[in-house]
Amino acid sequence: MRRQAERVYSIIEVARQGGRWGYSDINFSARRPDGPPEPGAGPGWRQVSPVPVAGSGLAAAGAADDRRRVYYQEQDRSLVGTAYEPSSPDGRWTGYRVLTRETGAPVAGAGAAVAVTGRIGALRVYYLDSGPGEEGRHPVRLAERGEEWTYSACAGAPHGSPISPLAAVTTERGEFAYYLDAPGRLIEASWLGEAGWSVRDLTSGVDGCPAASPLSRLTAVGCGTDSRLVYFLDEDNRPVQLAHTVVPATKKRPEGDAEWRVLRLSAYGAPAAAAGSPPAVVLSPEGHPRLYYLDADRTVVEVGFNGRGWEVHRAGTEADDGAGAPAAAGGSSLAAVPDGDGSAVQVFYLGAAGPDEGPDGCDHHLIELRGAGRGWRSRDLGAELDLPTVATGVPSPFAAIRTSGPRVYYTSEE
């Protein structure tokens, strides 16, 4: 494990390949440089990309051929994109681009979330920009076309809250970003290509849409022609699904239609979430959503649609033949990816310290919870791999993707 003379933040990738789990640091290389080590990097280590700032947003994208990208904010809150190319001579993180400087885009706001959507070669990265009062916290879209990046800021959108979450999806009909504005309303910022931006207040504009908790996180998924699912917590910390559905054309309405529908998942037995619990959603092979979040006891809950109705499973409580998976640490992030064939899901979170551990005992407890329905198994990857310390004291988001296997990313302060 790398030891620093001074605490330096870096991003850790934990991955399963060839049947084995391992980890690597994407900001520092273990290969000894030709010259002496850089100051503060430790013997045999050299910095290969800008280090993240404390509280940086984090987003990742991957492809089946094992290409992957990670996006975060460096020390001056410029947005950085790092790249892994399996075709490189030694298969490693091959470089980085400071996208805000390259495109002239504004830097991210302090603690701004980052979201990515699309496919490699045509990725879209969203964040909320910086600026005092009325001048900041607008959505910014960075667009990839081959090797070129451009940006567009949605200057006319409502200002995001200082701690606003962010989610983004792409469908056949467009690109959509979701965030909470300063009064706590759920905002949709749509990119319309040559026509520019369109902005809608979903809290006020969709019948029956409840107000979001001021601490609510967001997650979203898009598929097909224009199906979009957005999840958030209401003021009682109960999960809500906001679904954009395309209504097929008929003889009377040959142009078809589209509408938003609100679904309160508590009506199907979904328990209240821990305040501020970050939700995660994946789609089953049939295209049905499975939502994951932490309940008031900080154990993982699965709420899934099976094609006929909704099922609720206390995954964390039921795991390990009823022994239960470790509870999550306070303020833990959460991320999820489907298994290779989509029949199971892997959920990642930060486990709480055990009774015999010190005050920072939870720092090494990255937990994997794998399964679906009533069959779940947990694994303490932090202890098993002796992982670098997870950043604490500031929000430390997780990002998870699947390429040749599951991969989860977090910010370390070691």
Mean pLDDT, rounded, for 341-370: 76
| Ramachandran region, residue 208 (left: φ > 0; alpha: ψ -120 to 50; beta: rest) | left
Q: What tokens does 364 get?
A: 């090494």
Q: How confident is the model at residue 91 (pLDDT cuts 50, 70, 90)?
A: low
pLDDT digit string, tens, across residues 259-282: 999 999 999 999 999 999 999 999
Helical H segments across 339-394, by residue range? 381-385
The pTM (predicted TM-score) of the whole model is 0.91
Q: What tokens does 72 get?
A: 């975060």
Q: Would you give the distance in Å from CA 185 to the centre of its chain?
A: 21
Q: Are 281 and 229 in contact (CB under 8 A)?
A: yes
Q: What tokens does 200 get?
A: 């809608």
Q: Are 303 and 310 in contact (CB under 8 A)?
A: yes
Q: How confident is the model at residue 35 (pLDDT cuts 50, 70, 90)?
A: very low
